[in-house]
Amino acid sequence: MSSELGAIDRPRPRIAAVFARYRYAVAALDQAALSVFGFALNLCLLRALPATGYGIVSLWMTMALFAVSVQGALVNGPLNIHLPGVAEPAAARRLESALGTVNLLLVVAAAAIAGIVNLASDAEWASHALLTAIAIPLFVAAGMYREYYRSTAFSRHDMSMLLWVDGPYLAITTACLMAMVLWPQLFADLAAAFLAMTVGCLVSQLCVRARGDGAERRLFRRGWFKTYRGISGEVSWSLLGVFANHIQSRSYVYIATSLAGLAALAAINAVGVLFRPVSVLVNAWGQSALPHLSAALAAGRIAEFDRTLGRALAGSAVASVVIGAVLWLAWNPIEHYVFAGKYGDGIALLLPWAAASGASVLRYVGSTGLMAAREFKFLAKAQIVCGALAAAATAGFILWDGPSGAMWGIAIGNAACFGWVMVRLQRVRRRAAALAAPAPKTIDQGEADAGAAE
């Protein structure tokens, strides 16, 4: 008994218990910190790197984001959806082992592809310098493993583990970025930029392993492939949706790089950073509102569903207009103090970026309503069609109007998808209302009720 009391009195279990009790608040604060940090990271890279250098980093960050999205469909999603639903401990261990094995293979493949593509290409965005060539695949692999650990923490409701994953990452990466900004003559180069974003991930992994959290079960356990194949059919639509969404949201990165060059991409992304606060707020709304919307729709509370979605649509539209106007009015100090005079022509990108950002957040809000109705198949198909439209329109606008027209293509694709989503939502609402409506009484049933009342 005394040993048990001693274990309970240790600081770590007490703190872990507090984090577990307030896990939603901890998760929200963690996500807010990461969102603010992501905004600051891009601003630091904007100031520290020349335009071409920032364009190269932006391109590889987009590729790394795509790798993490694929990982989310194949590994991290099942960790948070399938694993918690497994009641038998032995089956849960087998599934966690299978997911850990798939994750390892995926990380190795992504890092190898990144390294080979970088070394084999002679394009402007490829770097054959030894340190940079090593740093790029490390950056991809380390970021993917950090996301894997974060998903493991969420699947276990272990907020202490989550903080040990993100805390060291934020602290170490912030210190590296400050060194780049304060001493650009020493650290402001491509290799330093990639290593700055990598070192924090590696330190966080060391901290998690040192705590003995057991983030991975024994890998390549017998039957792992059969275990994973049991859920592979359910993740296929998610994987398809990842590809379609990436094309719809990020095709401008690859098209602008090919048609206009890295300097143009750097300017496009630099202005895009300024609109990120709106998307961060809308994404935060989506995470908290999705369970509420799903419950309202399932219970037939259509008015509540409409009210929640309508307020979010109105708020997103107003926020998009307000931030566009503020950036337009404050462009001169932003260009001077934030961009350090590197993107003077960026004002031409404000209007198309405002349209693209506004259409994107409206599409996201509408899609959240469809996700609450489990319309995943429709969303994947819609994103495929609208992604192709966005890519074609982006290429056409760049050829017609130069780099400043790139975001008009994304705006068109997002606007078309938003309209399609809203049409589908009307059908979903009618179906939910019909299911929730009480069945009409027959004559016999009505007479029986009347007799019972008498």
Burial of 228 (0-12, 13-18, 19+ CB in 10 A): buried
The residue among 48 and 212 whose pLDDT is bigger is 48
pLDDT tens across 60-105, in order? 999 999 999 899 888 887 877 667 666 677 887 888 888 889 999 9
Of the pLDDT bands very low, low, confident and very high (cuts 50, 70, 90), residue 11 is: very low
Residue 251 — pLDDT band, cuts 50, 70, 90?
confident
* Most confident region among 22-26, 334-338, 412-416 by mean pLDDT: 412-416
- The domain segmentation of the chain, as residue ranges, is 14-222, 234-436
Distance CA 289, CA 125 (A): 40
Q: How far is CA 106 from the centre of its chain?
A: 18
DSSP tag of 345: G
**What values do phi and psi take at 358, rounded to 5?**
-60, -45
* pLDDT value, residue 93: 81
CB 271 within 8 A of CB 350: yes
Per-residue pLDDT reduced to its tens digit, 126-185 = 888 899 999 999 999 999 999 999 888 877 778 888 888 999 999 999 999 999 888 888
Task: Specify the pLDDT at position 152.
Answer: 85
pLDDT at 290 > cutoff 80: no
Look at 143-152, 222-231, 286-295 and tell me which has the smallest mean pLDDT: 286-295
pLDDT in tens, 276-286: 888 878 877 87
Q: How confident is the model at residue 379 (pLDDT cuts 50, 70, 90)?
A: confident
Report whether pLDDT(258) > 90: no
* The pLDDT of residue 9 is above 50: no
- In this prediction, what percent of the chain has a pLDDT beyond 70? 87
Q: Which amino acid is at 28?
A: A
Closest listed residue to residue 411, CA positions, set 350, 351, 359: 359
**pLDDT number for residue 8:** 34
pLDDT on residue 187: 81
Per-residue pLDDT band for 16 (boundaries 50, 70, 90) equals low
**Mean pLDDT, the chain, as a whole number?**
83
Residue 226 has a pLDDT of 85
For residue 210, CA distances in Å to 14, 165, 204, 215 come to: 19, 12, 10, 11
Which of the four pLDDT bands, split at 50, 70 and 90, describes residue 3?
Answer: very low
Instruction: Answer for the pair 170, 217: CB distance below 8 angstroms, yes or no.
Output: no
Average pLDDT over residues 242-255: 84
- The yes-or-no verdict on residue 446 having pLDDT over 60 is no
Most confident by average pLDDT, 11-20, 116-125, 322-331: 322-331
Average pLDDT estimate for 317-338? 91
Give the model's pLDDT for residue 6.
37
pLDDT for the residue numbered 217: 58
In this structure, what token pair is assigned to residue 359? 């259409």
What percentage of the chain carries pLDDT values higher than 90? 33
DSSP string, 139-177: HHHHHHHHHHHHHHHHHHT-HHHHHHHHHHHHHHHHHHH
- Angle, nearest 10°, between helix axes 376-401 and 406-436? 160
Averaged pLDDT, 371-383: 82
- Which of the residue ranges 23-27, 126-130, 437-441 would you say has the lowest mean pLDDT? 437-441
Position 150 scores a pLDDT of: 87
